[in-house]
Copies of this chain bind each other. A is one copy, B any other.
């Protein structure tokens, strides 16, 4: 396997991240590229969920993954080995989030022709990444059962900015005090339009529904490319 490409992300110089994010979204639209910003706590299963999802989509879409991490290239190597999908690692040098300019630096390292979908695996953190628009078409987040059903109450901004919430590790529901219905209610309280996908990335249960949703998103984004 080729070594994983590692991009050392520099601090942004742009004063207005929101403006910059809008500009990046327009650029991506013009190119017909769908960017998904995937966020979560450390250890909620972002990488495993992604591997399952990519394996369902990789024959239908041209995909690249950007793995943001403070250090290490553990995740990018894992993704490439398990799916064959082109992955690069973004080193944030201690920074706890990515903004639009940092995302653009990452995108410049993606080397896939006629790209349809880029998934940005953001830094594992429920606080800071929620505060910065990366220029993604959608924000999604993964909450895992062991973290508890009260997280939408404690991290309101994260659940407000995410249109899609994956509830991962549903196989261990019997061993934790996690009320799925209550969690759904808390999520919808933060974002009434949120789509919620309960699944188990380890066994694959429920992943198809999430992958199908993502496929539909990409296609409809591309269909409006020139509008």
Residues from chain B with Cβ under 8 Å of A131 in the complex: 94
Chain B: minimal CB distance from A133 (Å): 15
In the complex, the count of this chain's copies comes to: 2
Q: Does A154 contact B (CB under 8 A)?
A: yes
Check B96–A154 contact: CB distance below 8 A: no
Q: A70-B156, A151-B43, A156-B71 are in contact. Are A146 and B126 (CB under 8 A)?
A: no
Roughly how many angstroms separate A126 CA and B126 CA in the complex, as a whole number? 10
Interface size bracket, A side: 35 or more
Least CB separation from A169: chain B residue: B146
Residue of B nearest to A172 (CB): B175
In the complex, A150 Cα to B72 Cα: how many Å? Answer: 11
Is A18 part of the contact surface with B, judged by Cβ < 8 Å?
no
Nearest to A143 among chain B residues (CB) is B43
Chain B residues closer than 8 Å to A124, beta-carbon distance: 41, 126-127, 154-155
